[in-house]
Amino acid sequence: MRRSKAWISAAGLAAVALVAAPALAAAPMGPAPAVLPATESATSGIPQGIAPVLDPLLQDPTLGGSVGAVVIDVVSGQIVYQREAATPRSLASNDKLLTALAVLNLVGPETRIETTVVGGAGSVTIVGAGDPTLATVSADGSSLTELADQTAAVTQGAVAVHYDTSLFAGSQIAPGWDGDYPALGVAAPVSSLTVDRSRVPDSDSRVDDPAYVAAQRFADLLSERGVTVTEVTPSSASGEVIANTRSVPVATMIETMLTESDNDSAEILAHLAGAQLTGVGTFESGAQATMETLQSLGLPTSGTVIVDGSGLSYANVTSPNLLASAVSLAAGQAAPSWTWPVLLGLPVAGLTGTLADRFVGADTAAAAGFVRAKTGTLIEVSTLSGTVVDRDGRLLAFAFMSDATTDIPDSRVALDRAAAALAACGCLN
């Protein structure tokens, strides 16, 4: 399932390179440690101590009566609580956990993405490499200004600026997305070339054409350095590499994507995983990369459907059994060596990312710092999955999923109470 760290563009050129650290070993593969299978009604062998604690909390009316949940003892791999554990539900941004596994598996945590400029006769072409972190100015990582400096130093006369986005193909908007997402600041159209997180200056809105905006900004930087630019147009790259810039490691991108729940990074990285698997990044190849990774890890994928990398589409569904099993795998001693950024990227209750302003109430604050979890929210959907250390120091992986919530803010509090109850519980002794 693993592929080489580089691929060739449609024009037959080295359009993009994934630059891995020399010491990076191949990611170990094979099935995850066995997790007891979950069914809708099976309770045999499952400790009953947690059920009296969680059942009343998961019946909170704001959750709408449609709730699935699984809790796993990470050390033993045993399911210690389940509620409609195998029923697929919309997972919202918990989809990013699955995307992270695919990217780390196929691309590798230590890999740095290299964006290049190719020189030709009277032209320079900036080649989109699928780097979601390319910035106009960057002190640590890829820099469009650095590319302009290198390009201007070897460019004479007037040039046309071209941009090559052939690494990604197909629709830039996923099935089920609202066409207003860019203007609303939810997510940009997905492109292999983007700069400054596709943000409209002084706004949370996203630009409509990330590649053109990035190329135009590159052209502006060249003009500022005395290069005459005649046009900015799309074109396949042809010529020799004259400039390059490298990103921060993929592990850093994954951690930030999970902590901040960044939709744009998730989609670009999912496309990148798809490109590594199939040669071209699309929503379909990204979904294929995710499903093949989950299956290769031996995770329970029955009923799972993936259509994007961020979870914005309601068509993404999976079971709480899969989410909890994926977290338990990453947290366990038998975890593949490349999964570590997943746990580091999980927001910390009451402290970081999308959990910074949660677990602050009187009935949940005691769990702050003890819960690390990925949040997920869509209209009528509220999810939370991650790890918690209980009162006895036992590490538990959990997934709570509701797809009929009547009040999103209150449903979040209800799920926080359930996670906090696990932290306070010494229910397995």
Chain segment 150-182, per-residue pLDDT in tens: 999 999 999 999 999 999 999 999 999 998 999
Distance CA 332, CA 313 (A): 30
Distance CA 364, CA 352 (A): 16
Confidence of residue 40 (pLDDT cuts 50, 70, 90): very low
∠ CA 417-99-301, rounded to 5°: 80
Structure tokens given for 209: 């054409």
Confidence of residue 139 (pLDDT cuts 50, 70, 90): confident
**What is the average pLDDT score of the chain?**
90
Q: Does domain 112-248 have CATH number 3.50.80.20?
A: yes
Share of the chain above pLDDT 70, in %: 89
**Residue the block writes with tokens 């496309």:** 271
Distance CA 293, CA 71 (A): 22
pLDDT digits (tens, 9 = 90+) for 382-418: 999 999 999 999 999 999 999 999 999 999 999 999 9
Distance CA 99, CA 129 (A): 18
Answer for the pair 299, 134: CB distance below 8 angstroms, yes or no.
no
Domain-wise residue ranges, the chain: 51-107+253-424, 112-248
Q: Is the pLDDT of residue 24 over 70?
A: no
Q: What pLDDT, on the 0 to 100 scale, is given for residue 262? A: 97
pLDDT digits (tens, 9 = 90+) for 115-125: 999 998 899 99
pLDDT digits (tens, 9 = 90+) for 13-23: 233 345 443 33
Distance CA 377, CA 354 (A): 11
Homologous superfamily assigned to 51-107+253-424? DD-peptidase/beta-lactamase superfamily (3.40.710.10)
Confidence of residue 355 (pLDDT cuts 50, 70, 90): very high
Q: What pLDDT, on the 0 to 100 scale, is given for residue 48? A: 74
Structure tokens given for 371: 């819960």
Structure tokens given for 49: 């101590």
Answer for the pair 20, 398: CB distance below 8 angstroms, yes or no.
no
Return the amino acid letter for 269: L
pLDDT digits (tens, 9 = 90+) for 251-294: 999 999 999 999 999 999 999 999 999 999 999 999 999 999 99
Distance CA 236, CA 196 (A): 23
Q: Distances in Å between the alpha carbon of 24 and those of 4, 21, 334, 423?
A: 13, 5, 19, 36
Q: What pLDDT, on the 0 to 100 scale, is given for residue 238? A: 87
Nearest Cα residue to 15 out of 113, 134, 105, 104? 113
Answer for the pair 99, 290: CB distance below 8 angstroms, yes or no.
yes
Q: What pLDDT, on the 0 to 100 scale, is given for residue 192? A: 98
Confidence of residue 149 (pLDDT cuts 50, 70, 90): very high
The string of DSSP codes covering 288-304 is HHHHHHHHHTT---TT-
Report CA torsion sign: 242, 248, 202, 129.
positive
